[in-house]
Structure 1
Amino acid sequence: MASLAGHFSAFIVLFPTGLRRLLCSSSLYLENPSQYRSKTWYFSEPRWKNFDLYTLIIALPVASFSEFFIFLSFTGNPTYKFAFFQNSFVLFFFWVLILLIIFRENVDPLRINEGFIFVFVGVSFLVEYTVIGKGITGLGGTVYDLLGALTLVCTACCFYLSIRPWTFFAEFLLCSGLIFKGTWMLQTGLSLYTDSFALKGCHKISVPPATGDTDLRCDLEEDGLRGVALMKLMFIGHAIGVLVLSFVLFGFLSRNRKSRHGEAGGPLLAELDSQTVVMRASSELELE
C-alpha cells in the first residue's frame, strides 16, 4: 500500500462497496423495519448486477500475488519482503471472505452461519489493523493511526452484527465506516505519496516503510506540527462529509420508494412479507 496507486485501488473498492451497502441496507430497512436483518452481502437480481463481488474474486488474489511475488523480485531486503508478505496475507483473508459469502449463497451443502461470516469479517479487519502504516512514524504515523481507528470501528460493528444482526444502527455505522475508509485512503495517498498534494513544507514519502521507520521529510519542525493539525482537521471534514452523505441518502430513500435498491424489492422482501402475513394470521387465530 506504500504508493498512490495502492491507496487509490483501496478507494475504488471501499467507497463503492460502502455506498452500495448503505443503499441496499437502508432500502431493506425502510421497506420493513420490524423484520430487518443485516446481511453479509446484498445480492441483486439479475446476478450480473453483482459484478463488483465477482470482480473482487479475481482482483484480490491477483493483488495478493503481486504483493508477495512481483515486488519480492525487486528487493533483497528481508524486512521489505516480510512487510509485503503481511499485506498479501491481509488480501488473502478478504479473498476467503468473498468465497465464504458466495458459498453460503449458492452451495446448499455448505450453508454457513451468517454470524460466523460477520465474525470472520471482524477478524479480517483486525488483521488489516496490524499492518496499517507499519514502520511509519511522526506525521505519517498520525495519518495511519486515524485510518486504523476507522478499521477498529468497522471491526466492532462486524462483531456486534454477528450477535445482533437486526441492529440497523450498527449496519449504518459499518457502511459509513467503509465509505470513510475509502475517502481517507485516497486522502492519505494524495497527502503522503505525491508532491502536488503534499503538505506545505513537507515532501512525499519516497522510502518504502518496510525498510525501517519512515516519516514525511519536512523542512522545519513547525511544518510537521502544522501538518499534523491540518490532517486532523481534514479527518474531521471527511467525517462530516460522510455523515451528511449517509443521512442525505437515507432521507432520499425514505421519501422516494421507487429509488430503493437491491433485495429491498426482490425475493427477500417477499419472504419477509409472507412471514408477516403468517404472523398476523396466527395472531388473529389466537384472538378468536
Structure 2
Amino acid sequence: MASLLFHILASIFLFSYGIYHLLLSIKSHFKSPSPPPSKPYHPFPSSSSSHFLKHLPLYLILSSILLSILYHSILSSISDPLAPVHRISSLQSVASLLLFLLLCLSLLISSSSSPLLPLLPSDLIFCLASIAFAVQSFVSFSSSSLNSSILQSKCDSVSSKISAASGVLCFALALDPRLFVADIALAGSLCLQGLWVLQTGLSLYADGFIPDGCHRLLDVVRGIEGSTKCDLEESQLRAMAILDLVFVFHVVFVAVIVLVVYAVMARAAGVRRVGSYEALPTSLVPAMAVVGSNHVQMKALTNTQA
C-alpha cells in the first residue's frame, strides 16, 4: 500500500508541476513581443512580497525530492534474499535524486539574493538539469536491465526513455534558451513522466490493474524488485504489449493537453490568425488609408498632365 501511495503522490506532483510550467511558459511567450528566454523555474505569480509564497513551487519541489529520498532509503534498508539487487537499485535512485536536490537548493539560495551564491544563469541551470535527467535515465535503464520481473523492467525502461528525452530538451534549452517548442516539450515530458509513474504503481501494486497472467509474489516484500511477476511467456508478451498501448495513450493525452492549453492561452491573449496571414494592428489602418489616397491623387494628376 505504501508503494502505491508513493507512486500516486509522485504522479500528482510531476503532472501538476508540468501543467504549471506549461501555463506560465505559454503566458510568458504571448506577453513578450519577441521570443523570451525560457525559464527553468517560474516564480509563483502573486502580489505578495513574501519570499516563501513567491518561491512556493521550489519549496514543493524540495519537499517532494526529500520524500522520494526517504522512500528509496527505506527500500534500500529492506533485506530480502529473493530480491538481491533491489538495495543497489534503491541506492542508485537516492544518488540520482541528490543531484536534483542540489539543483533545487542552488536555485533557492541564488533566488533569495544570498551572498553565498550569485544568481545562476538559465543556461547553466538547464545544463545541470540535463545532467541530472541523464543520470536518472541511466539509473532507470540499469534497474530495468537487472530486474528479474519483466513487467517492472518494462516500466523502468519506459521511464528511462522519458527521462532521457527530458535531458535532451534541457540540453537544447541550455544551448538556446529561446527555443519555445523545446520548453513546451519539456513541460509535456514532465506530465508524461507523472502519468507513467502512476501507471507503474497501478500495474505493479494494484490488483485490479495488474495484467492477466501476472501476479504479486506473497513471499517478496511489496514495492521492491521482483515483487510482481508473470509466469508464462505468453503472459509476459501480452503484458508488455498492453503497457506499450497504454504508453501511446498517455502520449496522445499529453499532446491533447498541450494543444488545448495553448489554444486557450492564445485566445485569452487575443491572438488571431487566419491562414498564414495575421490581422494588421488598428494603428496602421489610418496610415495605409493616407498612402492609398496619395497614390490615387498622384495617378489622377499624371493623367491630367498627359
Interval containing the TM-score (normalised by the shorter chain): 0.7 to 0.9
Q: 1:79 to 1:203 in 2, by over 3 A?
A: closer
Q: Given the alignment of the two structures, is residue 143 of structure 1 paired with residue 162 of structure 2, yes or no? A: no
Q: Given the alignment of the two structures, is residue 155 of structure 1 paired with residue 161 of structure 2, yes or no? A: no
Structure 2: any 5+ residue segments left out of the alignment?
Answer: 271-306
Q: 1:19 to 1:74 in 2, by over 3 A?
A: same
Q: How does 1:39-50 map to 2 (within 5 A)?
A: 39-44=39-44, 45=46, 46=48, 47=50, 48=53, 50=55
Q: Distance in 1 between matches of 2:217 and 2:205?
A: 5
If each structure's helix is expressed as a fraction of its own residues, which one has the higher value? Answer: 1
Shift in Å, 1:121:
0.5
Q: How does 1:171-190 map to 2 (within 5 A)?
A: 171-190=183-202
Q: 1:220 to 1:59 in 2, by over 3 A?
A: closer
Shift in Å, 1:215:
7.7
- Give, as a single letter, the amino acid of the residue that structure 2 aligns with 1:197: F
For 1:6, the equivalent position in structure 2 comes to: 6
Structure 1: any 5+ residue segments left out of the alignment?
Answer: 259-288
- Give, as a single letter, the amino acid of the residue that structure 2 aligns with 1:38: S
For 1:16, the equivalent position in structure 2 comes to: 16
- Give, as a single letter, the amino acid of the residue that structure 1 aligns with 2:129: V
Q: Given the alignment of the two structures, is residue 104 of structure 1 paired with residue 116 of structure 2, yes or no? A: no
Q: Deviations over 1:212-236 (max 9, x none)?
A: 7x38422432222111111111111
Q: 1:124 aligns with which of 132, 142, 153?
A: 132
Shift in Å, 1:211:
7.8
Shift in Å, 1:30:
1.3
For 1:283, the equivalent position in structure 2 comes to: none
Number of residue equivalences: 255
For 1:200, the equivalent position in structure 2 comes to: 212
- Percentage identity across aligned positions? 29
Q: Deviations over 1:76-130 (max 9, x none)?
A: 8784433322222122111111112223322264122221111111111111112
- Give, as a single letter, the amino acid of the residue that structure 2 aligns with 1:75: S
Q: 1:238 aligns with which of 237, 244, 250?
A: 250
- Give, as a single letter, the amino acid of the residue that structure 2 aligns with 1:97: L
Q: Does the aligned pair in 1 maintain the 2:150–2:229 contact within 8 Å?
A: no
Q: Does the aligned pair in 1 maintain the 2:3–2:223 contact within 8 Å?
A: no
Q: Does the aligned pair in 2 maintain the 1:138–1:215 contact within 8 Å?
A: no
- Give, as a single letter, the amino acid of the residue that structure 1 aligns with 2:58: L
Q: 1:128 to 1:209 in 2, by over 3 A?
A: farther
User: With structure 1 as the length reference, what TM-score do the two structures score?
Assistant: 0.79
For 2:62, the equivalent position in structure 1 comes to: 57
Q: Distance in 1 between matches of 2:98 and 2:240?
A: 33
SS at match of 1:165: coil
Q: Distance in 2 between matches of 1:188 and 1:157?
A: 23
Q: 1:193 to 1:13 in 2, by over 3 A?
A: same
Indicate the structure whose relative CO is greater, using CA pairs within 8 Å and at least 6 residues apart: 1
Structure exhibiting the larger radius of gyration computed from Cα positions: 2
